[in-house]
């Protein structure tokens, strides 16, 4: 069975999507439509901007969404997922790909999400850190024992967990994690504590937008970050998508459940190869590949 997976923030690069724009009239139409919806020329930044321009949250998130969703649309008959999943932001791309959200509604929500997250980041200094080489339960215990807000945020693959919270609490937790045997505990160059309680203002703002958006019946199940299991009920999908901003991304658990349910080929749709690498570490037996336009 084919599992189509969609990357999140961090997969962006200058020039992303230009090949699609130049080669496919449908892609050109969708990119131009996106410029109108966003109110600025995101294509200029994606195709020929600077890496710094592309790193801005209000640009990064819509850019990755556009690359992933437009790629899935130009694949046409080649795009036949039995199930889908997305890493954090990628969940929105997955929901357009499986027919739950329209292209326009998905982009509008992603843009609102990016702006709401940016605002939440500015309210309180916060960050994230990657922890390598420790079992999840040890990382979770040290987070619980550390003063301040610090939580497990991204379960990326066995031995790779990202923590999120206040800057002071993250620094303290990193020291404790190194003492506990972590191979690395590295603060990441991000603007805030994504997937932590500090995103509550953004969650409330996004919840209102999601509640006012039409969610259709999906063509295939989505394995959501919050529940990690197959979901096909549009109301449940909404509820999980709202919870996602303050809840951890349980990618390891989602991939394992997709494999249990029959997935043996994982196709990454969008920029980069990060998810292929993670899936390979979660289950070395399954096949991973990038989406192709053969």
Stated as kind and residue range, the H or E segment containing 162 is strand 160-166
195 given a catalytic annotation: yes
For residue 73, the model assigns a pLDDT of: 95
Contact between 72 and 97 under an 8 Å Cβ cutoff? The reply is: yes
In DSSP terms, 83 is beta-bridged to 3
Cα–Cα distance for residue pair 153/247, rounded to 1 Å:
7
Nearest to 138 by CA among 154, 156, 159: 159
87 given a catalytic annotation: no
Residue from 68, 88, 111, 254 carrying the catalytic annotation: 88
CA distances from 10 to 32, 226, 274 (A): 23, 20, 9
Starting from the edge strand earliest in sequence, which strands make up the sheet with 222-223, in order? Answer: 230-231, 222-223, 83-86, 2-6, 265-268, 287-290
Cα–Cα distance for residue pair 59/38, rounded to 1 Å:
10
* Structure-token pair, residue 240: 């999980």
For residue 78, the model assigns a pLDDT of: 83
* Structure-token pair, residue 197: 């309680």
Residue from 72, 195, 196, 254 carrying the catalytic annotation: 195
Contact between 44 and 50 under an 8 Å Cβ cutoff? The reply is: no
Compute φ and ψ for 231, nearest 5 degrees. -125, 135
Contacts of 89 (CB under 8 A, 6+ apart): 7, 8, 9, 61, 64, 65, 110, 113
Contact between 161 and 136 under an 8 Å Cβ cutoff? The reply is: yes
Confidence (pTM)? 0.95
Q: Tens of pLDDT along the chain (294 residues)?
A: 999 999 998 888 999 999 999 999 999 999 999 999 999 999 999 999 999 899 888 899 999 999 999 999 999 878 889 999 999 999 999 999 999 999 999 999 999 999 999 999 888 889 999 999 999 999 999 999 999 999 999 999 999 999 999 999 999 999 999 999 999 999 988 878 999 999 999 999 999 999 999 999 999 999 999 999 999 999 999 999 999 999 999 999 999 999 999 999 999 999 989 999 999 999 999 999 999 876
For residue 292, the model assigns a pLDDT of: 80
What are the structural domains, with CATH classification, of the chain? Answer: 2-122+197-290 (3.40.366.10), 123-187 (3.30.70.250)
> Is residue 68 classed as helix, strand or coil in its secondary structure?
helix
Whats the size of the chain, residue-wise? 294
């Amino acid at each position: 069975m084919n599992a189509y997976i969609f990357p999140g923030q961090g997969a962006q690069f200058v020039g992303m999507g230009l090949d699609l724009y130049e080669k496919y009239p449908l892609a050109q139409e969708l990119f131009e439509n996106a410029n109108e919806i966003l109110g600025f020329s995101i294509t200029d930044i994606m195709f020929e901007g600077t890496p710094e321009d592309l790193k801005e949250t209000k640009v990064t998130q819509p850019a990755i969404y556009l690359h992933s969703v437009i790629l899935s649309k130009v694949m046409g008959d080649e795009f036949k997922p039995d199930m889908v999943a997305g890493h954090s932001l990628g969940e929105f791309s997955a929901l357009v790909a499986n027919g739950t959200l329209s292209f326009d509604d998905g982009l509008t929500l992603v843009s609102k999400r990016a702006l709401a997250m940016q605002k939440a980041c500015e309210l309180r200094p916060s960050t994230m850190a990657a922890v390598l080489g420790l079992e999840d339960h040890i990382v979770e215990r040290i987070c619980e024992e550390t003063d301040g807000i610090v939580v497990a945020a991204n379960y990326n693959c066995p031995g790779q967990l990202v923590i999120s919270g206040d800057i002071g609490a993250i620094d303290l937790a990193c020291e404790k994690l190194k003492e506990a045997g972590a191979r690395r505990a590295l603060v990441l160059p991000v603007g805030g504590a994504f997937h932590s309680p500090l995103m509550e203002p953004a969650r409330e703002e996004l919840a209102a937008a999601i509640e006012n958006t039409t969610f259709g019946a999906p063509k295939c199940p989505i394995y959501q970050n919050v529940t990690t299991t197959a979901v096909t009920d549009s109301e449940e999908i909404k509820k999980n998508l709202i919870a996602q901003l303050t809840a951890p991304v349980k990618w390891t658990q989602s991939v394992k459940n997709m494999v249990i349910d029959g997935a043996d080929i994982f196709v990454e749709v969008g920029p980069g190869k990060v998810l292929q690498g993670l899936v390979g570490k979660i289950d070395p037996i399954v096949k991973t590949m990038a989406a192709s336009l053969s």
